[in-house]
Chains A and B, each alone.
Chain A
Amino acid sequence: MKARIDTRRCQGHGQCNLVCPEVFGFDDQGFGRVLVPEVPERLRADALRAESTCPERAIELDTRV
């Protein structure tokens, strides 16, 4: 599974980081940054939760890979 953040949508709420800090961190401005683009299998459920709880709907997970 691949993780991406749409930087046009992200506003830096940081909810993804609360739910899945291994995959989602912050840049210097406090906006979301993907730390591990290839989401490890064991973090799959957390990454999905981060995607669904983003208030700006800025997280894209490609579940085909």
Chain B
Amino acid sequence: MTPTDRERALAAAQSFDNTKAEFLEHEFETYDLLREHLPVAQIEVAPLMPGAPGSTPYVLTRYSDVSEVLRNTDDFSSRIDIYPVRPWIPQAIDPPEHTAYRRILNPWFTVDAMRDLEPHIEAYAEKLLDAMLERDAFDLVADFADPLPTVIFCELMGFPDDDYNRIMEWKNIVMHAADGHSRGRAAAFAKAREFGLEADEAKPMDPMVSLQVRARTAAQVYAYFGELLARRRADPADDLISRLLSAQYEGKRALTQEELEDTMFLLFMAGLDTVASVIGLIVRGFALDAAKRREFVGLIEDPKRLDPAVEELVRYHAIVTAPRRVTRELRLRDVALAKGDIVACVTQAANRDGEEFERRDELVFDRAPNRHAGFGIGPHRCLGIHLARRELRIGLRALHRRLPDYRLHPDRPPELFGGMKGVSSLWLVKG
């Protein structure tokens, strides 16, 4: 007897773990199955959202559910201990405190503020391309997608240039120790040795060892932030660290040392990882689909067409699964949820929901309307949305002007990682 669709969906839920790179091979088939037959899917693999102990994760794949949950901050809290680090501000905070923190941060990330960065992003993109395109084969992630947003962000933040490698290593350990990211894995094992922890590199890292590695790495990051804050207190500069130091919470008081560090932690992780991942995924997609790439190359000089095309690429290549903690007993569709349960809002899946998006699995560069959840929905909407859009537009345009034709390197396949998914290595050849 062949399994029914619902049985197939239940089986998919049982083995669901989108933190693993292997998951990406059947990612969208799995989302389709769940969306259609098990829209509130209880999953068994706990690592997806290491929330409160004993809590049961549910996965949401419909656009309507994802957007409703992300808007409803009363019933679905962001207060989740996700790492061996303190809650990030403002990501892991609920209104009304969340609103107060965002009021501090919002003015620094407006369209106008980000527009001023444009010439600089442009110049830096060209500089990276000059170096990368001297060769016929190159790793687009290492040479372009990673450094472009990272260096721009470090400058905005006030992190010294010399710390670039150290910062990337920390970020890769905290975010990517165990999701298939090759450099994240290597860096985590190196740290384990540094800390004198036992770890066999021939096997996946033991979860408890991984937790310790990330906890102690996070402690190093906090210490680094502490040093930078002390330096800027003594000698303010025109950067976000200095602005945080003079910020007033609700106009009443300065931020505490913990608040400063926790905000920096969020900016650090969100600023370093996201745009790099999306550029990697977009270019990999274009390497595999020359017709789509040519269509894109044909529109990059027209801002009226480039803007919606970038929105569509963000819809198509969304990377975030946002967890929420249920605050009271309630029903979501036909499923009874208990206080403390974790629901995971999979924006990747919501963005491919046929109820919301026609031709959902196709890149439609002039898609209208396009109410995608790629930058999130609700009060936690991506703080850096205008920086991200600008980096994507400028980066993708500069790249495709200079390199309209490329394909995957025949001997070096792309390396994908799960979780906040992306590409850790993308070797390309010209032509």
A interface residues (Cβ-Cβ under 8 A, vs B): 11-15, 17-19, 26, 28-30, 49, 52-57
Contacts and interface: CB of A to CB of B under 8 A. Distances in A.
A15 to B, nearest CB: 7
Contact of B371 (A12, A18, A28, A54): A54
Contacts, number: 55
A56 B377 contact: yes
Contact of B377 (A11, A19, A26, A29): A11
A13 B385 contact: yes
Interface residues of B, number: 26
Given A11-B381, A53-B368, A26 B311 contact: no
Contact of A12 (B112, B311, B369, B381): B381
Given A13-B385, A14-B385, A55-B377, A30 B371 contact: no
A1 B136 CA distance: 56
A55 B371 contact: yes
Contact of A26 (B111, B368, B371, B381): B111
Contacts of A17: 111
A28 B107 contact: yes
B191 interface: no
Given A14-B385, A15-B370, A55-B371, A30 B307 contact: no
A8 to B, nearest CB: 10
A10 B402 CA distance: 38
Contacts of A49: 368-369
B397 interface: no
Interface string B378-407: 110100011000000000000000000000
A14 to B, nearest CB: 6
